[in-house]
Each structure stands twice: as C-alpha cells, then as structure tokens.
Amino acid sequence: MTETLTQSLRENKAARWGALAVVSFTMLTGYYINYVISPLKPLLELHLEWTSRDFGIWNSAYGWFNVFFLMLIFGGLILDKMGVRFTGLGASLTMIVGTALQYAAIENLIPSDAFIFGLKAQIAIGALGFGIFGVGVEVAGITVSKVIVKWFKGKELALAMGLEMATARMGTALALSLPIPMATVWFGTMEMPALSAPVMAGLGLLVAGFVAFIWYTFMDRKLEKSEGITDETDPEEEFKVSDIFFIIKNKGFWLIALLCVLFYSGVFPFLYYATDLMINKYGVDPAFAGAIPSLLPFGTILLTPLFGNLYDRKGRGATIMLLGSIFLLVVHTFFAIPGFNHYFVAIALILFLGVTFSLVPSAMWPSVPKIIPEKRLGTAYALIFWVQNWGLMGMPLLIGWILDKYSIVGTNAAGKPIYDYTIPMIVFAGTGLLAIFVALMLKAEDKRKGYGLELPNIAEKAEAVIEQEKSI
C-alpha cells in the first residue's frame, strides 16, 4: 500500500502520455492561429488593398510585446513562481483575447478609412491582436515545455517534446491548407471571399484548447499529490530575479538561444510568405498554393518524434542540430536559384525543409535542461523564446519591405504586384549559414563543459555510454 502511495504518477505510462496529449492539443490550436492568414496574402491584397508592407507589419507584431515589453521574460518568471497551472490558463485566455481582435479587424468591424499612428486602423488593430496572441502562445509554449520536463525527466524527454511539436504543427498544416477553401468555397467565393471565416474557426479551436488545459490542471494536481509537492515553488528552491544572471552568464545558454533565433527565423517567417512564393515563382494556382507549404508540417509529424527518440536513446544532440542547420542553408539556397521554378521542385524542397524542421527542434529543446537547472527552466525557456522573438518580429517586416522595395517585377491582370522572391530567399539562406557557425560553437562548448548534449536523455542509457567511454 505504501509503495502505491509514494510512487510518482510519472511512472504510469498512460498518465504521462495522456498529459502530453492534452497539452499538445492546446498548442495545436495556437499554431493554427499563428499561420491562419498566411495563405490569404493574395486575397488580402486584392480585396482589402493590403500591401506586402501591411502584411509584414501584421506578422511582425507577433513579437512586439514579447520583445519590447519583455512579456515573455515576465511570463517565465511567473511560470517559475506560480507554476504551470496558473500560467497555462492565463496564456490560453490571452490567446483568445488576441485572436478576437484579429477577427474584428479581418471582419471589417474597424472603419476601413480610419488610421491609427499612420497605419490603417484595420492593420493596427489586427496587429495589436496578433501581438497579444503572440504573448499568449509563447508563454503557453514555455509552459508546455516545463510541463513535459515535469512528466518526462529521466525518461523519453526528447521523444515527448518531439511528439508535442509534431502535434502542434498539425495546426500549422491546417492553417496553411484550409483558409483558402474555407474563405472561397465553404463560406464564400473567389469573388466574395469570407476572409474572416478561418480566423473565426481558429477562435473556436482556442476555446477548445483552453478547456483541454483546464482538464490538464486536474492531472497536474494528481501528479503533485503522488510526489508530495505543490505547484508552488519550494521556499528553499524559490526562483530569485538575481538568478537571471546565472542564466545569462552561461555561454551554452547563449549558443542555444542564438541557434534558436537563427533557425526559426529561417522557417516560421518563411511560412508566412510561402504561399505567395508558390504563386509568384512556381506558378501555382492561388486556390491550391497553400497546399504545398502545408506538406512541411506533415513531414515533421513523423520525423520530429523519430529524431527525438534517437536523441533519447543514442544521444548526438549537438550533431543533430548542426546537421539541421546545414540542411536549412541548402533548402533556401535552392529556393533562391531563379531557374528552378517548376512546382515539383517546390514540393521537393518543402519536404526537405520538413526534414530540416524536424532535426533542430527535436534536439534543441531537450538540450536546455542539460544546461540549466530545473528550478530556473521556465525563465531559461522564456529568455530563449525572447531572443527568438527578435527574429520572428524582424524577419517578416524585413521580407515585406524587400518585396515592396526591390522585388516587384510587374503586375497581374488585377493590377496587383508580381514579386521576384530571389532576394528574400537569399536572406533566408543567410540564417542557415549563420546557424551552422553557431551549431559548431555549441558542439565545441559542449565538449569543453561536458553538458552531455551528445549523451542519451534516458538516464540509464546515458550512464551506460559514460561507463563504456571510461572503459576505453
């Protein structure tokens, strides 16, 4: 009887994988909203008179509050102080509020001839909503990362994180493939598209994700009861603001953070423009253009858990991150070559980018607990996400400016711009090149400091590798 009472609920496979499934669904709903307007760019330009600059401003707003008002860092402090239940529920509600504002903007509830701070009111209000949403989804991301560490430390940590990312990216796949048919076939026509319908669908999904996280809070309480702990930090282990200095003095932390911002700047902002790229460079019909970028997440659904499981059992985390950085450079270099403009090439490159997108995250996020102690983990993830948000904020704005300034090569029958994506893709390729250098530095730092990034995550397997190395 005593053994049953003292055994952690983490030891119950059904419980820990069930908890993972619930929080993964919450992240899926957030990832849908993250990309829901991306396939709609040509329709927004045609029917709402947007420019590429307007589109870039809207998408760059994702990082406004996280970067300039340090909301992500405050979110990490709240997470370490208040625990995953309070922080996760707050993040879910924030996503709902931000998305409601985006819906109001797309639905034209804002006067179309009004301006706010020199911006069209529609763009300003929608960008404000996306910025608020960005706070919620990023804080939800660090919360879910800490949830997974809480349930899977010493076990299948990288596999669990890989499965969570794979599930979340199903939301990305839906956001890239469904909005155009939703707006032009199911709820409207190509001449009169229902541009707000995909956003309204996402709002409903977010409410479902909020309910799912409420369910998770009961599972979390059971876990803590089984371990004799509470969601509040133990007074002796309580996080102090001064502990931030411990994190930022760690070179390994900064290398992970830099790799994160470079890698994700070459993928997430690319997806914002990928549908438009398919139309302008590869001649894909706008009605189907979103289907090609939507193939990317489907590859990650299978491969991210596979690479995560490899890291758990065999190690080589730093090597996996280096390989993914090399692949990122290769993919975007081929996207930039002008003559490679058949849509079969685009499909092949998107699938290859899916492999790339599986490699780095599957090893990067499980590596953080090897560098930073668990009591500081929420803030460490928050700081990494904060650095990442500089790229997620700046890159869409930069690409939108480049398109309007240097890449217009003509107009179509509707009088809207035709873009040459060569320069933007060279910019994206540059993120891969820089990521390679950072990954090499991280690999060298791991060898010097002995973080164990090349060791398996499963404790007994890591011990076996260490013993084997000692015997050689």
pLDDT, tens only, 290-303: 889 989 887 777 78
State which H helix or E strand residue 418 sits in: strand 417-419
Place of tokens 């970028």: 293
Taking a C-beta distance cutoff of 8 angstroms, is the pair 436, 330 a contact?
Answer: no
Q: Which fold has domain 9-227+240-471?
A: Growth Hormone; Chain: A; (1.20.1250)
What does pTM read for this prediction?
0.83
Which token pair is 367? 């590596």
Residue 109 has what pLDDT? 84
Model pLDDT for residues 114-127, shown as the tens digit of each residue: 888 778 899 999 99
Q: What is the mean pLDDT of the chain?
A: 89
Residue 3 has what pLDDT? 43
Arithmetic mean of pLDDT, 158-171: 89
Model pLDDT for residues 38-64, shown as the tens digit of each residue: 999 999 999 988 999 999 999 999 999
Does residue 319 register a pLDDT over 60?
yes
Taking a C-beta distance cutoff of 8 angstroms, is the pair 366, 446 a contact?
Answer: no
Q: In this structure, how many other beta carbons lie within 10 angstroms of the beta carbon of residue 38?
A: 22
Question: For the chain, what are the domain ranges?
Answer: 9-227+240-471
Model pLDDT for residues 235-261, shown as the tens digit of each residue: 545 556 667 888 889 999 999 999 999
Residue 464 has what pLDDT? 59
What phi, psi does 248 have (nearest 5°)?
A: -75, -10
Write the DSSP assignment of 31-83 as a string of letters. HHHHHTTGGGHHHHHHHS---HHHHHHHHHGGGHHHHHS-HHHHHHHHHHHH-
Is the pLDDT higher at 323 or at 228?
323
State which H helix or E strand residue 408 sits in: strand 408-411
State which H helix or E strand residue 409 sits in: strand 408-411
SS3 for 231?
coil
Query: Which pLDDT band holds residue 460 (cuts at 50, 70, 90)?
Result: low
Write the DSSP assignment of 156-184 as a string of letters. SHHHHHHHHHHHHHHHHHHHHHSHHHIII
Model pLDDT for residues 389-427, shown as the tens digit of each residue: 999 999 999 999 999 999 999 998 888 899 999 999 999
SS3 for 8?
coil
How far, in Å, CA of 353 to CA of 356, rounded? 5
How far, in Å, CA of 390 to CA of 386, rounded? 7
